[in-house]
């Protein structure tokens, strides 16, 4: 055969490569630890069954028992990038079950080999075998909180009563981030508020049966609010209809009244909240109930503030937010004067 003939010329010009020269295929299979082991996508199972070899560097990988139960032999091995490429020669297909780190050393090595341009690289595919659902990172938070509660000298001693003040502080910091329009701060403060919820739920898991306290978990908390949301949104999850925000609020209040069986519109209003917010909440309940109630005919700063709060609520203004905005302007004026 002429050395210059197309059949003898290596490279892209070859139109019919023999099987021995086929570079093969490498599939990097990734899974989420937030999904139960064994729950893999159909393309993942197809790749696993079609592979000539399945490798995993971690012999304790949670997927391995389920793969072996499905009749897929898995070899515990940590090949280099070159060894993996060599093993694919002849058109072989290898599946690498990635560890939690995603095999960065292996993928970096394959990238370097491909970058040389001197090696016939196998086909490379990243195949997610399971995916995180929205909210999956909440599972991480629960696990981290479990460990902190068990191992941290401070956290292990905390009680609902001792943490109460932090819940109030974090809520105020969240409101401040919203009013300042700082989205980075907003994300952080939402996390701090979420921490308070998970922390209290973790403490509640322990319970104090001797004091009549039955334990409950974060799943009970989430399950309760899910059931409440579904029940109070019949226009979304049921046959009711609501086309305006006002109709939605009517549904909510009507359903809540049946649930709570309250005898007064003032029930359920926390009296420990800031004064302006308390006054506005009372005024809101009065307006919603279509009651005609005059303000107490008493003079004094407290009653003047009450009248202002009622007026603000009737005009759709949050008196607490309005006062904070005015206070910030006052703070800026003070700084200007100091400067």
Residue predicted with more confidence, 70 or 247: 70
- For the domain 19-128, what is the CATH code? 3.40.1010.10
Contact 66, 38 (CB under 8 A): yes
Contact 88, 26 (CB under 8 A): yes
Contact 81, 109 (CB under 8 A): yes
**Chain centre distance of CA 253:** 29
54's CB contacts (< 8 A; 6+ apart) are: 48, 67, 72, 73, 74, 75, 94, 95, 96, 97
Share above pLDDT 70 across residues of the chain, in percent, rounded to a whole number: 93
Q: Look at residue 10 and tell me whether its pLDDT is greater than 60.
A: no
Helix (H) or strand (E) holding 206: helix 183-206
Domain with CATH 3.40.1010.10 in the chain: 19-128
pLDDT digits (tens, 9 = 90+) for 273-321: 899 999 999 999 899 888 899 888 888 999 999 999 999 999 999 999 9
C-alpha to C-alpha distances, 217 to 220, 224, 230, nearest whole angstrom: 5, 11, 20
Secondary structure class of 264 (helix, strand, coil): coil
Q: Look at residue 15 and tell me whether its pLDDT is greater than 70.
A: no
Specify the pairing of strand 75-76 against strand 93-97.
unpaired
CA distance 53 to 87: 9
Contact 34, 135 (CB under 8 A): no
CA distance 94 to 219: 40
Domain with CATH 1.10.287.1080 in the chain: 134-216
The most confident of the ranges 187-196, 210-219, 297-306 is: 187-196
Q: What is the mean pLDDT of residues 147-167?
A: 95
Q: Nearest-5° angle of CA 179, CA 184, CA 190?
A: 70
Q: Which two tokens stand for residue 306?
A: 């009450």
In what order do the strands lie in the sheet containing 75-76? 75-76, 53-56, 93-97, 25-30, 123-128
pLDDT at 8: 38
Contact 306, 298 (CB under 8 A): no
pLDDT confidence bin for 257, thresholds 50/70/90: confident
Say which range, 62-71, 87-96, 163-172, 238-247, has the weakest mean pLDDT: 238-247
Q: Which two tokens stand for residue 214?
A: 């039955």
Query: Which stretches within 232-274 are classed as H helix?
Result: 234-237, 245-260
pLDDT confidence bin for 253, thresholds 50/70/90: confident
Is the pTM higher than 0.75?
no
pLDDT confidence bin for 251, thresholds 50/70/90: confident
CATH class of 134-216: mainly alpha
pLDDT confidence bin for 21, thresholds 50/70/90: low
Q: Look at residue 95 and tell me whether its pLDDT is greater than 90.
A: yes
Q: What is the mean pLDDT of residues 113-139?
A: 90
């Amino acid at each position: 055969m002429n050395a210059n003939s197309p059949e003898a010329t290596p490279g892209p010009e070859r139109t019919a490569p023999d099987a021995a020269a086929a570079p093969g295929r490498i599939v990097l299979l990734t899974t989420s630890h937030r999904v139960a082991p064994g729950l893999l996508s159909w393309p993942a199972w197809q790749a696993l069954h079609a592979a000539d070899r399945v490798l995993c560097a971690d012999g304790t990988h949670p997927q391995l028992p389920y793969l072996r139960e499905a009749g897929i032999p898995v070899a515990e091995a940590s090949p280099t990038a070159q060894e993996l490429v060599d093993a694919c020669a002849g058109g072989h297909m290898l599946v690498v079950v990635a560890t939690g780190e995603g095999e960065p050393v292996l993928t970096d090595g394959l990238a370097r080999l491909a970058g040389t341009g001197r090696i016939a690289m196998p086909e490379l595919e990243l195949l997610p075998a399971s995916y995180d659902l929205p909210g999956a990172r909440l599972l991480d938070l629960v696990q981290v909180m479990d460990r902190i509660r068990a191992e941290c000298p401070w956290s292990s001693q905390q009680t609902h009563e001792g943490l109460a003040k932090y819940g109030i502080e974090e809520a105020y910091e969240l409101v401040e981030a919203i009013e300042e329009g700082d989205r980075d701060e907003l994300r952080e403060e939402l996390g701090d508020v979420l921490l308070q919820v998970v922390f209290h739920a973790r403490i509640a898991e322990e319970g104090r049966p001797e004091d009549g306290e039955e334990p409950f978990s974060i799943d009970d908390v989430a399950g309760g609010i899910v059931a409440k949301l579904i029940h109070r949104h019949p226009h979304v999850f049921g046959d009711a209809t609501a086309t305006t925000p006002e109709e939605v609020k009517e549904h909510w209040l009507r359903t809540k009244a049946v649930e709570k069986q309250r005898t007064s519109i003032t029930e359920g209003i926390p009296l420990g909240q800031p004064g302006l917010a308390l006054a506005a909440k009372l005024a809101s309940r009065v307006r919603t109930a279509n009651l005609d109630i005059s303000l107490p005919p008493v003079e004094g700063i407290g009653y003047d503030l009450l009248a202002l709060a009622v007026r603000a609520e009737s005009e759709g203004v949050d008196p607490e937010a309005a006062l904070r905005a005015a206070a910030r302007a006052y703070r800026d004026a003070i700084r200007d004067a100091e400067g």
